[in-house]
Structure 1
Amino acid sequence: MTTPISTDNLDRYGNAALPWSRPRDGLRQETPTADLTFFVATVRPDGRPHSAGVGAVWVDDALYFTSGPGSRKSRNLSTNPACSVSVRLPGIDLTLDGVADRVTDGPTLERLAEVYRSGGWPATVEGDAFTAPFSAPSAGPAPWHLYRLDLRRAVGVATAEPHGATRWEF
């Protein structure tokens, strides 16, 4: 289970620190069925930033996302696995920082393919990656790699009551 080791209240208006359970429960409830847009930010070898949409799901208190091996984001992650993933959940904007690890073990791939299918993307496992009749244009052509974000830090800014802004370290 992902449990913060520290919590910092970033709010300047007197609101209390937000509990980690708020964004965590939002991720649990909203993925994979809600129409959420996730963006992963990576760093090119020359230091320039790169951001692109990804198909992401929250499973067993971890964020997983996909990307084609030839895409800019996958090439960046192969050189520097540090990345950030951002999403707007109902009532809270969230940024997750960490290190992306490629998932290649069959049981995890099968389990995550099932989760993606439950959300409407007909993913199947082929070798150590996913295939499907379609994916997002930014994913590149099949096969698609699966990554697990090893969460290090998250920042949430509430857009609904109770308001606040909080950073969690893991």
Structure 2
Amino acid sequence: MSEPTSTRNLDQYGHAELPWSRARDVLVADTPTADLTFFVATVRPDGRPHTAGVGAVWVDDALHFVGGPGTRRSRNLAVNPACSISVRLRGLDLVLEGEAHRVTDPEVLERVAEVYRTGGWPATVEGDALTAPFTAPSAGPPPWHLYRLTLRTAFGVASAEPHGATRWDFAH
């Protein structure tokens, strides 16, 4: 994904566009060690929204998160991969929109598990999923499917200097 294909300044007070690197750099630096809760919004088969808090990590230039196969989020994503993920980062409120697809590649699973371990969650690869002695109640019982967000659009609103609000679009 790397860089956005287009940006749009949404700030109404004259601040400059925010660079995507500001959001990306905080995601790289703060996941998984900072105390961040990401909220994943998916769509139920009947069209109603569903939102759940998750622990997410930025690995290989993408956001990854887990969900047990029986969770509402995983069941929704199996039918409709469209989702949005929101988080308050250091100095920046961020919304990421795109599609989340299950990751089963053993090398990617191991890289993501290693990043989770650096943050204190002792994740290991078991088959085509992750497992650990504990997790958040919203993840459901192990093993957990790993999802990678394919980013389409992101919105950032700076809560610290330099202020601003920007939309970033990504081509795929």
What range describes the TM-score normalised by the shorter chain of this pair? over 0.9
Per-residue CA deviations over 1:58-100 (Å, capped at 9, x if unaligned) read: 0121100011100000000000000001110000000000100
SS of the counterpart of 1:40? strand
Per the alignment, residue 40 of structure 2 pairs with: 40
For 1:23, the aligned partner's letter is: A
Q: Distance in 2 between matches of 1:109 and 1:117?
A: 12
Per the alignment, residue 135 of structure 1 pairs with: 135
Q: Distance in 1 between matches of 2:57 and 2:105?
A: 17
Per the alignment, residue 161 of structure 2 pairs with: 161
Residues 82-97 of structure 1 mapped to structure 2, 5 A cutoff: 82-97=82-97
Instruction: Return the offset for 1:55.
Output: 1.5
Per the alignment, residue 70 of structure 2 pairs with: 70
SS of the counterpart of 2:114? helix
For 2:115, the aligned partner's letter is: V
SS of the counterpart of 2:88? strand
SS of the counterpart of 2:163? coil
Scaled by the length of structure 1, the TM-score of the pair is: 0.98
- Runs (4 or more) in structure 1 with deviation over 3 Å come to none
Q: Distance in 2 between matches of 1:162 and 1:52?
A: 30
- Consecutive unaligned residues of structure 1, counting only runs of 5 or more, are none
Per the alignment, residue 29 of structure 1 pairs with: 29
Per the alignment, residue 118 of structure 2 pairs with: 118
Q: Distance in 2 between matches of 1:41 and 1:74?
A: 11
Per the alignment, residue 7 of structure 1 pairs with: 7
**Identity across matched positions, percent:** 76
Q: Distance in 2 between matches of 1:110 and 1:13?
A: 45
Q: Distance in 1 between matches of 2:70 and 2:105?
A: 20
Q: Distance in 1 between matches of 2:151 and 2:95?
A: 10
For 1:123, the aligned partner's letter is: A
Instruction: Return the offset for 1:2.
Output: 1.6
Instruction: Return the offset for 1:140.
Output: 0.5
- Consecutive unaligned residues of structure 2, counting only runs of 5 or more, are none
RMSD of aligned C-alpha atoms? 0.7
Number of paired residues? 170
Per the alignment, residue 107 of structure 1 pairs with: 107
